[in-house]
A and B are shown apart, each in its own frame.
Chain A
Amino acid sequence: MAQTMSGARILMECLQREGVEVIFGYPGGVTLPLYDAMYEGQIRHILVRHEENACFMASGYARSTGKVGVACATSGPGATNLTTGLVDCMMDSIPVVALTGQVSSKLIGSDAFQEADTFGITRSATKHNYLVKDIKELASVIHEAFYIASTGRPGPVLVDITKDVLQGQAHYTPVHAIHLPGYKLVTEGHAGQIRRAAQMMWEASRPYVYAGGGIISSGAHEELRELVETLDAPAVLTLMGLGALPADHPNFISMPGMHGSYAANMGMYECDLLIALGVRFDDRVTGRLASFAPHAKVIHVDIDPAEIGKNRAADLPIVGDAKKVLGRLVKALKESAPEMRGLREKERREWWDQIRAWKEEHPLKPVFSVDEIKPQHLMVELDRLCNGNAIVSVDVGQHQMWAAQFIRFNKPRTWLSSSGLGSMGFGLPAAIGAQVAHPEALVVALVGDGGFQMSIPESSTIANQGLPVKTIIMNNGYLGMVRQWQDLFYQNRLSAVQIEAFPNIEKLADAYGIKGRIVEKPSELRSALEDAFRHPGPVLVDVRVSPFENVYPMVPAGAAINEMVLAPPKPVEVPA
Chain B
Amino acid sequence: MLMTISLLMENKPGALMRVTGLLSQRGYNIESLTVGRTLDPTLSRMTICVDVEPRLRPLLIKQMNRLVNVLQAHDLTEAPAVIREMVLLRIRVSLENRTAILKEAEIFGARVVDSSVDGFALEASGDPEKLEEFVAVMQTYGDIEVTRSGLVAVSLEPRKLKLAPPIPKGHSESEPVHTR
- Name which of B7-15, B74-82, B134-142 contacts chain A: B7-15
Closest to B163 in A: A181
Q: Name the B residues within 8 Å of A128 (CB-CB).
A: 68
Please, what's the 1-or-0 string for B32-69, where 1 marks a CB less than 8 Å from any CB in chain A?
A: 00000000000000000000000000110011011111
Contacting residues, chain A, for B27 (C-beta < 8 A): none
Interchain CB contact under 8 A, A64 and B180: yes
| A366 proximity list for chain B (CB < 8 A) | none
Chain A min CB distance to B56 (Å): 10
B167 contacts A178, CB within 8 Å?
Answer: yes
Interface residue B96 (Cβ < 8 Å from any Cβ of A): no
Closest to B22 in A: A124
- Determine if B158 is an interface residue (Cβ-Cβ < 8 Å): no
- Is A123 within 8 A of B69, CB to CB? no
Q: Is B171 part of the binding interface, using a Cβ–Cβ cutoff of 8 Å?
A: yes
CB of B172 to closest CB in A, whole Å: 6
Set of chain B residues within 8 Å of A127, measured between Cβ atoms: 68
CB distance from B122 to the nearest CB of A (A): 39
Write the chain A residue with the least CB distance to B171: A147
Q: Which one of A231-239, A280-288, A305-313, A564-572 is at the interface?
A: A305-313
Whether A305 and B162, one on each chain, are in contact in the complex, defined by CB atoms closer than 8 angstroms, is no
Query: A178 with B169: in contact, given A306-B66, A411-B180 (CB under 8 Å)?
Result: yes
Q: How far is the CA of A67 from the CA of B171 in the complex (A)?
A: 13
Whether the Cβ atoms of B21 and A124 lie closer than 8 Å is yes
Residue B118, interface by CB 8 Å? no
CB distance from A392 to the nearest CB of B (A): 13
| Nearest chain B CB to A346 CB, angstrom units | 39
CB-based nearest B residue for A157: B68
Residues facing A in B158-180 (CB within 8 A) are: 162-164, 166-169, 171-173, 175-180
**CB <8 Å contact, A177 and B69:** no
Q: When the two chains form the complex, which single residue of A120, A310, A412, A438 contacts B59, counting CB atoms closer than 8 Å? A: A310
Are A177 and B59 within 8 A (Cβ)? no
- In the complex the two chains form, is A304's CB within 8 Å of B66's CB? yes
Which residues of A, 104-150, contact B by the 8 Å Cβ criterion? 119-120, 123-124, 127-129, 131, 143, 146-148, 150
Query: How far, in whole Å, are A316 and B90 apart by their CA atoms in the complex?
Result: 56
Complex Cα gap A120–B17 (Å):
8
Taking the nearest CB of chain B, how far is it from the CB of A13, in angstroms?
Answer: 13
Nearest Cβ distance between residue A548 and chain B, in whole angstroms?
37
Cβ of B70 < 8 Å from any Cβ of A?
yes
B18 on the A face (CB < 8 A): yes
The chain A residue with its CB closest to the CB of B71 is A182
Do A19 and B167 touch across chains, with their CB atoms under 8 A apart? Answer: no
- Cβ contacts under 8 Å, B99 to chain A: none
Residues of B within 8 A of A304 (CB): 66
Q: What CA separation (Å) do A121 and B69 show in the bound complex? A: 18
Alpha-carbon separation in the docked complex, A371 to B159 (Å):
72
Distance in angstroms between the alpha carbons of A123 and B25 in the assembled complex: 11
Q: A65-B179, A123-B17, A412-B180 are in contact. Are A177 and B168 (CB under 8 A)?
A: yes
Bound Cα distance A413, B180 (Å): 6
- Report the separation of the CA atoms of residues A177 and B171 in the bound assembly, to the nearest whole angstrom: 9
CA–CA, A120 and B10, complex, Å: 18
Minimum distance in angstroms from B5 CB to a CB of chain A: 15
Q: Judge whether B59 and A176 touch: CB under 8 Å.
A: no
**Chain A CB within 10 A, most for which of B68, B69, B71, B168:** B68
Chain B: which residue is nearest A413 at the CB level? B180
B167–A147 CB distance below 8 A: yes
A180 to B68: give the CA distance in the assembly, Å: 7
Chain B residue contacts of A183, Cβ below 8 A? 68, 164
Bound Cα distance A129, B178 (Å) = 25
Q: Is the CB of B63 within 8 A of A66?
A: no
- Among A18, A123, A146, A176, chain B packs the most CB atoms within 10 A around the CB of A123
Cβ A66 vs Cβ B179 within 8 A: yes
Task: Given A128-B68, A182-B69, answer yes or no on A66-B177 (Cβ-Cβ < 8 Å).
Answer: yes
Is A150 within 8 A of B175, CB to CB?
A: yes
Report the Cα distance A247→B16, complex, angstroms. 46
Do B173 and A19 touch (CB < 8 A)?
yes
Distance to closest chain B CB from A220 (angstroms): 9
A128 to B10, CA, bound (A): 14
Knowing A123-B14, A182-B70, A183-B68, the reply to whether A174 touches B169 (Cβ < 8 A) is yes
Given A66-B179, A175-B169, A177-B167, A306-B63 contact (CB < 8 Å): yes
In the complex, given contacts A119-B14, A150-B172, A181-B164, what are 14 additional A-B residue pairs having Cβ atoms less than 8 angstroms apart?
A17-B169, A66-B177, A123-B21, A127-B68, A131-B14, A151-B175, A177-B166, A177-B167, A177-B168, A181-B71, A185-B164, A304-B66, A412-B180, A413-B180
Interface CB pairs A-B, < 8 A, 24: A18-B172, A65-B180, A66-B178, A66-B179, A123-B18, A127-B68, A129-B14, A147-B167, A150-B175, A151-B175, A174-B169, A175-B169, A179-B167, A181-B10, A182-B70, A183-B68, A184-B162, A305-B66, A306-B63, A308-B62, A412-B180, A413-B178, A414-B180, A438-B180
7 nearest A-B pairs in the assembled complex, by CB-CB distance: A219-B178, A306-B62, A66-B178, A181-B163, A177-B166, A128-B68, A182-B71
